[in-house]
Amino acid sequence: MDYQLNQFKKHLLKNRKSEKTIEVYIRDIKHFLFYFKDKQLKDITNDDIDNYKVFIIKELELSIKTLNKKLVAINQYLKFNGIAVDIKQEKVQSQNFLDDIFSSSDLERILRAINKKNDLRAKAIIMTLRLTGMRVSEMLQLTKHDIDKDTIIICGKGNKYRNVFISEKLKLVWQQYVAVRIDKSEMLFTGQKGAITRQTVDKIIKYYTGQARVKKSKGHAHNLRHKFCKDLVDKDIPLDSIADIVGHENINTTRIYTRKTKKELLDIINNI
């Protein structure tokens, strides 16, 4: 299996896929192969694929959008290995509401789980994403010299620089974390081996989402960015200002957050 995956990785590099895309593809393929660990790749059928889809949606409770992203990677891997399985993506009706965004209650429960274990690094990571709307790649640019600043210049999507605003509340969280921080790198977020990676951030968020018994599909870093944007919209901050704050190049991306969440719509229906 390792040999096949390495060959596929070389194939993706040759076709100029980004490192991030390759990382996601390999992770999704490994999950797929583990699901079929008792079966040879050449013996996988269309019925097997259908069963896997049901597993992803019903048991793991992941969205159709997430499933379809996984199917892209799996389809390419099977074709690369000469497996004639017809993998069709699932269709989903367009929905004009926001789904699976963290609620304030979700975040309170996650923070309680973090505080219970006195995990100051996890708290600093969650609160940094929550109170700045930064992407993980942007947050991992922070250094230990940034903790007292009101604004920090970071390089965002498309290699464009912008100022990120730091609240007094977040500074306090950073100060608590820095007191126990492992000083093996100039970067703010570190571990025993130095600066942490995106994978470490993902593991931390998924772990505490599980500990707080929050829906699994909500447990990803970008969801904290979604929550930040939604909160700004709910506070009637102008869309162009929000776009500037979070680094949206197209204001239509920001406009998405003017939609109601599923819970908000359910509350409206229940109050009829």
List the domains of the chain with CATH numbers.
2-80 (1.10.150.130), 105-219 (1.10.443.10)
Q: Of residues 70, 109, 123, 248, which has the active-site annotation?
A: 248
Residues 6 or more apart in contact with residue 169 via CB below 8 angstroms: 127, 131
For residue 190, the cross-strand partners are 195
Q: Of residues 53, 135, 218, 230, which has the active-site annotation?
A: 135
Tokens (6 digits) for 199: 């994978």
Q: Is residue 22 very low, low, confident or very high in pLDDT (cuts 50, 70, 90)?
A: very high
User: What backbone phi and psi angles, to 5 degrees, belong to 151?
Assistant: -135, 145
| CA distance linking residue 129 with residue 223, whole number of Å | 9
pLDDT tens digits for 25-79? 999 999 999 999 888 888 898 899 999 999 998 888 888 888 999 999 999 999 9
Residues 6 or more apart in contact with residue 171 via CB below 8 angstroms: 147, 148
| CA distance linking residue 241 with residue 226, whole number of Å | 16
Q: Of residues 157, 160, 184, 213, which has the active-site annotation?
A: 157
pLDDT tens digits for 86-144? 788 888 766 666 778 899 999 999 999 999 999 999 999 999 999 999 999 999 999 99
Q: With CA atoms as reference, report the closest residue to 259 among 226, 230, 232, 217.
A: 230
| Annotation says 17 is catalytic | no
Q: Is residue 1 very low, low, confident or very high in pLDDT (cuts 50, 70, 90)?
A: low
Q: Tell me if the pTM is above 0.85.
A: no
